[in-house]
Amino acid sequence: MTLYEVRRGLLHIEAHEKLARFEALADDGTVWVVDRRAAEVAAEICADLWSRGEPLSDSDILLASVAEANGLPLVTNNEFHFSRISGLQTENWLTD
């Protein structure tokens, strides 16, 4: 999702130089996928949020579930937004 979101945004504003730099960075990194475990975690997160009347978008739930299923923190600059997900570890890429 993050690869999609960043690439989509850069294409939308026609930031070709930034897109080239981002793609070079992405080529050196790991792409984490929504596998069965992540999908199961996503369903649990979604059910919990719905039961508390605090829904999030599917894309945010999937991002969080991939991180959680792989024992990784979710790197974001919007920790408050993801704080509704019980037990999710986050790291702020602007301050940490």
Report domain extents, the chain: 1-31, 36-91
What confidence score (pLDDT) does residue 95 get? 86
Scan for tokens 């992540």, then name that residue: 38
**pTM of the predicted structure, to 2 decimals:** 0.82
Burial class (CB in 10 A: 0-12, 13-18, 19+), 22: middle
Burial class (CB in 10 A: 0-12, 13-18, 19+), 94: exposed
What confidence score (pLDDT) does residue 2 get? 81
Using CA atoms, how far apart are residues 38 and 36, in angstroms rounded to an integer?
6
Print pLDDT tens along the chain (96 aa). 688 888 999 999 999 999 999 999 889 888 899 999 999 999 999 999 999 999 999 999 999 999 999 999 999 989 999 999 999 999 997 885
- In terms of residues, how long is the chain? 96
Using CA atoms, how far apart are residues 83 and 90, in angstroms rounded to an integer?
8
Pick the CATH number of 36-91 from 1.10.3210.10, 3.50.50.60, 3.40.50.1010, 3.20.20.60: 3.40.50.1010
